[in-house]
Structure 1
Amino acid sequence: MVVALVAWELGSVLGALPASVFPSMSETGGRLFGLFVDPEFWNSFRETLISWIIGVVAAAVLGLPVGILLGRVAFLYKSSRLLIDFLRTIPSVAVIPLLTLILGATMEMKVVLVIYGAFWPIALQTIYGVRDVDKVLMDTVRSYGIPRLRSALAVLLPAALPYLVTGLRISVVVGLLLAISGEILGSAPGIGLDMALAQTGGDVSLTYAYIVFIGLLGVTVDLLLNVMSRKVLFWHASVREEKE
């Protein structure tokens, strides 16, 4: 990272990178710090954050029970597999024009977009996790007459938890990308729209400042998700092996 930043600065100072396309690293850093003291920036960031969180939470609330149901009932899984494979292969950004036409350039449009994109990783990973649970284990639970709700909470969910955590991690990142994409392509309020307006207005250094901030946000989210998954899966063999 240090080498890349130094090369960026030297390339701008020496003229190897055209100023009209690549502002210097120091100039971009100055504009980035300028964003942090701009109240309008934090208002836009709040718009992005709210739509992102609401969309991911709603996707999890919908995806977990759907995934458990389809994973446990073989008939439902087989009869819906073709429809699932068709819908999940549609790029989420491809539905932005349709959602913008129906809902307009609003936060609701972004929330629906995030739900659509974040639903599939959670639902599919839940299906895979539930179907991968040892059948002998579930037969043993049934033989002891343990109620279904208790067996689901005490046996099924813990066994499928690594898959659920993976699906949630993917969905959180996908949701962030879609929230910003909805702002850029659908003109919904947020930091994505601010970045698009800066680019349209020819303010290259401000555009790069937004890009750097979004990148730093993505890295921060990824690090937090890594920590969270290790805390939740501290008992799992993969986490124990890494610690050893």
Structure 2
Amino acid sequence: MRGLRGRRDLLLGALGVLLAFGVCEAVSRAGIVRRSYLPPASEVLGRALELAGDGTFLAGVGATLHAWALGLGLACAIAVPLGLLLGSVPVVDAAVRAIVEFLRPLPSVALIPLVSLLLGSGTETEVALVTYASVWPILFNTVYGLGETDPLAKDTLRAFGFGRLSVLLRVELPGTAPFIAAGIRISAAVALILAVATEILAGFGEGLGIFIAQAGLATDGTRDVLAGVVWAGTLGLLVNGALVWGERRLFPWTPAHRGSGVRR
């Protein structure tokens, strides 16, 4: 049953985390790695919990999440309509394919100097870079999802006199929605990575990345750096879990989610 399998997966995940925690703790306590390079996992976790009561730190985390949400939202607003257009109109797809393939491999972090020059050292730069990096998974998942739409359903609607827009709204968009959701889930992780990385590399504003960057400059800041990393990983885990839960509730008929259903 779904509940039994979910509890089993949760238990295995918890065991994996405990194993990694124990290995890091043992390696540091045994002196295999100097504590200045790898503090005990218990100290790192304690520091991460301590930061939960630090208002300044939480304000920085809020700033990072704000940039993440804005960038991801803008990416969805750009990528979904553009993907539907490219997937529905072959002429447009052929016309812009070379531009898309040229821009897609460009690493977002390499654009930090240019975007900072154009937009200044503020939230606008971070949001722009997050948006740029997050567009691609959503865009290509949307195009791929359109290609996987049932052709019989589309032909049936056309046979009954439905126009191109009606076919898109009644068949293609609902059929593509699970692919779009998967793209958003991938982009959510990419967006969080870019939000933190941009703050670290650019060194401006406030945020979780700024905390990590400043801790890295301190004489004995390894513990704070790792505590910040724990926070970043926890945020990513929570975001991914929330999006997976949403996908299962919205699209229970998809093959990936049917596999976690009741077995008879």
TM-score norm. by structure 2 comes to 0.88
Secondary structure of 1:133's counterpart equals: coil
- Corresponding residue for 1:196? 213
Verify the 8 A CA contact 2:188 2:240 in the aligned structure 1. Answer: no
Mapped to 1, the partners of 2:230 and 2:45 lie a distance apart of 9
1:1-244 mapped onto 2 (5 Å cutoff) = 1-188=17-204, 189-202=206-219, 203-243=221-261, 244=263
- Corresponding residue for 2:12? none
Mapped to 2, the partners of 1:182 and 1:238 lie a distance apart of 34
Post-superposition CA distance 1:89-116 (Å, at most 9, x none): 1112211121122223211101000110
Bigger mean CA offset, 210-219 vs 133-142? 133-142
AA of the residue aligned to 1:46: G
Give the 4+ runs in structure 1 shifted more than 4 A: none
Deviation at 1:147, TM superposition (A): 4.2
Q: Where does structure 1 lack aligned partners over 5 or more consecutive residues?
A: none
Deviation at 1:71, TM superposition (A): 0.5
Bigger mean CA offset, 198-207 vs 45-54? 198-207
Bigger mean CA offset, 7-16 vs 147-156? 147-156
Verify the 8 A CA contact 2:149 2:171 in the aligned structure 1. Answer: no
Mapped to 2, the partners of 1:242 and 1:40 lie a distance apart of 42
Give the number of equivalent residue pairs.
244
Report the RMSD for the aligned CA atoms in angstroms: 1.5
Post-superposition CA distance 1:147-198 (Å, at most 9, x none): 4443322211111122111111111111111111110111232110111000
Q: Where does structure 2 lack aligned partners over 5 or more consecutive residues?
A: 1-16
Mapped to 2, the partners of 1:218 and 1:241 lie a distance apart of 25
